[in-house]
Homo-oligomer: A and B are copies of this chain.
Amino acid sequence: MKTVDLLIKNGIVITMEGPGTGIINDGSVAIEGGKIVAVGETAEVCREYDGHRVIDARNKVVMPGFIDCHAHSCDAIVRGLAQDVDNWLYKAIWPITSNLNPDDIQVGSLLHIAESVLNGTTTICDMVYNADIIVKNHLKIGNRVILTEMIHENPSDIFRYDPMDVYPFDHSVGEGKFARCRKLVEQYQGYSDDLVTVMVGPQAINMVSLELMDELHHYAVSNDLHIHIHVSQSDRENVQVEKRYGKRAVPLLNDRGYLGRHVMAAHISHATRPEVKMMADSGARMILCSNSIAIINGVLPPAAEYLEYGGTVGLGTDQAPGNNRNNMFSEMKSSAVLNKYKLHSGTAFPAWKLLRMATIEAAKTVGLDSIIGSLRPGKKADIIIVDMTRPELSPLYLEPIRNVVPNLVYAADGSEVETVIVDGRIIVEERKLLHADLALLVNEANRHASEISKRLSAFDGLGNLPVAKFTAEGLY
């Protein structure tokens, strides 16, 4: 009998190993030094292992934490200020965020991370401005993070341009952000045994010059880093690059050799079918942000087609202003429901596939499937424990028929997550963050919101903000 750091026993263990969900009705997981050392039937695991600490997971699900493949925690401070709009980027989010300072962004980001982790996300793929500041938020809460400094060469008043027009690139902005990216890589790539991973992040091919894109691509490839980029996220993007270079976004990326297995592409929402195939064929992975893109654009990204072409798809929550939450349970359900509707089929996008797209397929999407995304000896212990005695998850059927996976995907909302473990370390217990005072974070965010409100009152673009109109008309 070996005594490990942590033994989770008697749970409904969903390993996400194999082609399905790898579920075990009565399973246990042994954890030592941040890694899983054993997972299997309780009778077998407990014959070999005891724990310095033991968690009894009877009537609870024990499963890999979610991997949110695409988030912008830097925007969370303006949650709820940008939705129900036409041209979200130019008319809502950019003019609003032009009123933010780095402190606002840092405080909002903490809230985003807190929400995400409390609802079962253990790895956040966070694409932000000021990544050197934001990384400290993730380290504070204790989750795993894949961090990307968002790099563009946009002028600061970009939202004052016609969205369908090209604008002059500001190369000094791009160089500054790229320098930040390189510094981040030097300081944090692989930090704390892969608790932090860094990616290279051109915001989109219409927002960086080809010269800078060449540099970023070369830097990523020569340093074995992945690229996290928005691809064909709007008609605007395609029109702008066509005006600049005579090609739409995906063919441009392809022709210049930017695509490939090292690319993780968000949205691809405005790509044609051949463009989707071109992306999938290149080995690039796709991130599906169903709630965000439906709310922002009224569009469902082509995940069904991407899968049809043999591509890999992971789920992401995107940003708080325009989702408006960062909860992978909500993404699983919305992604299922939207795709069933799109494909006119109740059997399309079944529950187990969604659970995979939030865990093991997401791990493949972010390129970390060798260390996270499923429960297997040798992998990192990134685990959540979910209370299955909540009314919306009850009753529980285990055999001869089981309702665990469909209830997790279609019925759970995240408030059922009791315990969150990252790298073998418990960071949420009894639904409380262990390394941050949530009430304090919320107070602090509210204080910043008051200051931002004052700034917005003096902002010359206030009257044009859709949220200002909705407020004035008594609708919001």
Q: A residues within 8 Å of B by Cβ?
A: 18, 20-23, 77, 79-81, 83-86, 88, 108, 111, 114-115, 118, 290-291, 294-300, 320, 323-327, 330, 333-334, 336-338, 340-348, 350-352, 389-392, 394-407, 410-411, 413-415, 438-439, 441-442, 445-446, 448-449, 452-453, 456-457, 462, 465, 467-468, 470-471, 473-476
A446–B298 CA distance with the chains assembled, in angstroms = 41
Given contacts A295-B337, A402-B471, A453-B400, contact A476 B351 (CB under 8 A): yes
Determine if B391 and A442 form an interchain contact, defined as CB atoms under 8 angstroms apart. yes
Give 8 nearest A-B pairs by CB, closest first. Answer: A80-B403, A395-B449, A415-B415, A84-B350, A413-B413, A395-B445, A115-B391, A352-B475
Pick the residue among B298, B389, B442 that contacts A341 (CB under 8 A): B298
Given contacts A77-B395, A333-B334, A345-B298, contact A401 B456 (CB under 8 A): yes
Pick the residue among B298, B323, B351, B413 that contacts A410 (CB under 8 A): B323
> How many subunits of this chain does the assembly comprise?
2
Determine if A389 and B20 form an interchain contact, defined as CB atoms under 8 angstroms apart. no
Interface centre among A21, A465, A470, by most chain B C-beta atoms within 10 angstroms, is A470
Q: Which B residues are CB-close (under 8 A) to A411?
A: 79-80, 320, 323-325
Given contacts A297-B346, A391-B118, A413-B330, contact A21 B340 (CB under 8 A): no
Q: Which B residues are CB-close (under 8 A) to A415?
A: 413, 415
Determine if B476 and A352 form an interchain contact, defined as CB atoms under 8 angstroms apart. yes
The residue in chain B whose Cβ has the minimal distance to the Cβ of A345 is B298
Given contacts A325-B410, A340-B295, A449-B396, contact A346 B401 (CB under 8 A): no
The residue in chain B whose Cβ has the minimal distance to the Cβ of A22 is B474
Determine if A18 and B474 form an interchain contact, defined as CB atoms under 8 angstroms apart. yes
22 A-B interface contacts by CB (under 8 A): A18-B474, A20-B473, A80-B407, A81-B401, A83-B406, A294-B341, A295-B346, A298-B340, A299-B344, A300-B341, A324-B406, A325-B411, A330-B333, A338-B338, A338-B341, A341-B342, A390-B442, A391-B438, A396-B446, A400-B468, A402-B470, A403-B476
Q: Which B residues are CB-close (under 8 A) to A402?
A: 467, 470-471, 476
Given contacts A327-B413, A407-B324, contact A395 B299 (CB under 8 A): no
